[in-house]
Amino acid sequence: MNGQSLLDRYYTWLLALERRSLLTAETYKIEIRRFLEWLEKEQLLPEKADSSALMAYLNFRRDKDRLDSRSVAKAISALRSFFRYMADEGLCVDNPARILESPKKGIHLPEVLHRERVDRMLALVPVDNPIGLRDRALIEFIYSAGLRVSEAAFLNIRDIYFSEGIARVLGKGSKERLIPFGEEAAFWLKRYLADSRPRLAGKVRSPALFIGKTGKRLSRKGIWKNYMKLAALAGIPSTLHTLRHSYATELLAGGADLRSVQELLGHADITTTQIYTHVDVSLLKESHRRYMPKLRKYLSRP
């Protein structure tokens, strides 16, 4: 069996039997393609690869691509999955990736943006044309609901309930959840649906909420690319995921409990959500650093 055929069958197995999300299946497929290409250069067959070969591959990836601990952990997860498939299909006797240990993840505080900076960036969006109005509505909605880029891309018009102020979102693992969104997001979304979307759609009929110039669903890559251009124009180094981080941090700062934030973000494990408690503390420390010297100056006066 050649490498491409093996890769295609593994990808089908991920979707059909493992019931992995499309995003996870694509991520694993890309990683295993790299692995199979490395095996070919090393003149090794996948079924003959042992744990030492896997360690050599991971070291190669660390040196070549300068992977951080999070990326190494993803590569190990993909290798474990692939060799589980190989074992299930009888293509290898054992899973050599089982003994690989994922690197410990340190606490990495995600970057957040305050509303003032978000507003400054959004003010640069030209809302006098269909594309600009769409981007304003899209970014407002992502920020207001704390969406992942993929979740925003997969939204359909029927998923928005304006009267309740709620959106039905399809998250990781094809799990649905209901998320409230704010009045500002609703305002721009209604303008987009009334003025911009019909002009972009033309004669194309699509259920997608956010569409491009051709009338078809706007892709994750397209959303990401448009936002990065806007952030660069505003001189604000951030990504779309920064808006999600900011959403979670503001919820906690406003008094929301951790379990509620977990549900809103669609995290399977609450430990993923707990990182935002550290962000909140870091913001308090920054405020203390900035304002305490001034406070001490006033307190020292007779």
Q: Range of 150's domain?
A: 115-283
Domain stop point among 99, 123, 141: 99
User: 277 and 128: one domain?
Assistant: yes
Lowest mean pLDDT among 15-24, 28-37, 190-199: 15-24
User: 90 and 122: one domain?
Assistant: no
User: 92 and 124: one domain?
Assistant: no
In 3D space, the residue among 203, 215, 193 whose CA is nearest the CA of residue 136 turns out to be 193
H-type alpha helices, 45-114 = 51-65, 69-88
Q: End-to-end CA distance of the chain, in Å?
A: 85
Lowest mean pLDDT among 42-51, 58-67, 73-82, 244-253: 244-253
CA 116 distance to own-chain centroid: 23
User: Which band of pLDDT confidence, cut at 50, 70 and 90, is reported for residue 98?
Assistant: confident
Asked, for residue 182, whether it belongs to a domain, the answer is yes
Q: At what angle do helices 115-122 and 240-253 cross, to 10 degrees?
A: 140
| Catalytic residue set | 148, 172, 241, 244, 267, 276
Residue 278 has pLDDT above 90, yes or no: no
User: 143 and 224: one domain?
Assistant: yes
Dihedral sign from CA coordinates of 69, 266, 248, 123: positive
Task: Reduce the DSSP state of residue 268 to 3 states and report it.
Answer: coil
Number of domains into which the chain is organized: 2
User: 121 and 267: one domain?
Assistant: yes
Lowest mean pLDDT among 69-83, 142-156, 204-218, 283-297: 283-297
The model's pLDDT over 228-275, given as tens digits with 9 standing for 90+, comes to 989 888 888 788 888 888 887 777 767 777 777 777 777 766 666 666
Asked, for residue 260, whether it belongs to a domain, the answer is yes
The model's pLDDT over 150-191, given as tens digits with 9 standing for 90+, comes to 899 999 999 999 999 999 998 877 788 888 888 999 999 999
The model's pTM: 0.59
CA 196 distance to own-chain centroid: 26
User: 25 and 132: one domain?
Assistant: no
Range among 11-15, 68-72, 278-282 rated most confident: 11-15
User: 271 and 127: one domain?
Assistant: yes
